[in-house]
Homo-oligomer: A and B are copies of this chain.
Amino acid sequence: MKRGVTIKDIARKLNMSVSTVSKALNNDATISSLTSERVKALALELNYIPNEAARHFKLNRTSTLGLIVPDILDQYYAFAANGVEAAAEERGYHVMLAQSREDEQKEERIIDLMIRNRVDGVVAAISKTRTDMAPYQKLLSIGIPVVCIGREPATPAFDFVSSDNMEGGRLATDFLIRQGHRHIAHLRGPEGMRTGNARYEGYKLALEQHGIPLREELVEVVDFSREHTEVALARMLALEVPPTAVFAFKNYMALDGIAFLKKYHPLLVGVMPFTGFGNLPILDYLDHKPAASIEESSHEMGLEAAMQLFSRIREREGAEQSARSIQLPCKLVVHV
CB distance from A94 to the nearest CB of B (A): 6
The stretch of A25-33, A34-42, A112-120, A176-184 that contacts the partner chain: A112-120
- CA of A234 to CA of B198 in the docked complex: distance in angstroms? 49
Chain B residues near A227 (CB-CB < 8 A): none
Chain B residues near A78 (CB-CB < 8 A): 72-73, 78
A299-317 Cβ-contact flags toward B at 8 Å (1 or 0): 0000000000000000011
Say whether A56 faces chain B, with CB atoms less than 8 Å apart.
Answer: yes
Chain B residues near A52 (CB-CB < 8 A): 116-118
- CA of A113 to CA of B85 in the docked complex: distance in angstroms? 14
The stretch of A96-104, A199-207, A213-221, A236-244 that contacts the partner chain: A96-104
User: Do B1 and A60 have beta carbons less than 8 Å apart?
Assistant: yes
User: Do A57 and B57 have beta carbons less than 8 Å apart?
Assistant: yes
CB distance from A51 to the nearest CB of B (A): 7
- CA of A51 to CA of B142 in the docked complex: distance in angstroms? 13
The stretch of A12-20, A147-155, A158-166, A284-292 that contacts the partner chain: A284-292
The one of B56, B72, B142, B255 that contacts A56, using a Cβ cutoff of 8 Å: B56
**CB nearest neighbor in B for A96:** B96
CB distance from A219 to the nearest CB of B (A): 25
The one of B3, B57, B85, B98 that contacts A94, using a Cβ cutoff of 8 Å: B98
Chain B residues near A82 (CB-CB < 8 A): 72-73, 99
User: Do B61 and A57 have beta carbons less than 8 Å apart?
Assistant: no
Of A72, A142, A255, A286, the most chain B CB neighbours within 10 A belong to A72
Interface of A is mostly: mixed
Say whether A4 faces chain B, with CB atoms less than 8 Å apart.
Answer: yes
**Size bin of chain A's contact surface:** 35 or more
Chain B residues near A56 (CB-CB < 8 A): 53, 56-57
List which A38-66 residues lie within 8 A (CB) of chain B: 49-54, 56-57, 60-62
- CA of A285 to CA of B269 in the docked complex: distance in angstroms? 14
- CA of A85 to CA of B3 in the docked complex: distance in angstroms? 27
Say whether A330 faces chain B, with CB atoms less than 8 Å apart.
Answer: no
Say whether A124 faces chain B, with CB atoms less than 8 Å apart.
Answer: no
Say whether A95 faces chain B, with CB atoms less than 8 Å apart.
Answer: yes
Of A1, A287, A317, the most chain B CB neighbours within 10 A belong to A1
User: Do A99 and B85 have beta carbons less than 8 Å apart?
Assistant: yes
**CB nearest neighbor in B for A117:** B52
CB distance from A204 to the nearest CB of B (A): 29
Of A62, A75, A81, A282, the most chain B CB neighbours within 10 A belong to A282
User: Do A96 and B98 have beta carbons less than 8 Å apart?
Assistant: no
**CB nearest neighbor in B for A61:** B1
Say whether A143 faces chain B, with CB atoms less than 8 Å apart.
Answer: yes
Say whether A263 faces chain B, with CB atoms less than 8 Å apart.
Answer: no
Say whether A231 faces chain B, with CB atoms less than 8 Å apart.
Answer: no
Chain B residues near A282 (CB-CB < 8 A): 280, 282
Chain A residues with a Cβ under 8 A of chain B? 1-4, 49-54, 56-57, 60-62, 72-73, 75, 78-79, 81-82, 85, 94-99, 112-113, 115-118, 142-143, 255, 258-259, 280, 282, 285-288, 316-317
A and B contact pairs by CB, cutoff 8 A, 5 listed: A52-B116, A52-B118, A72-B72, A73-B79, A280-B282
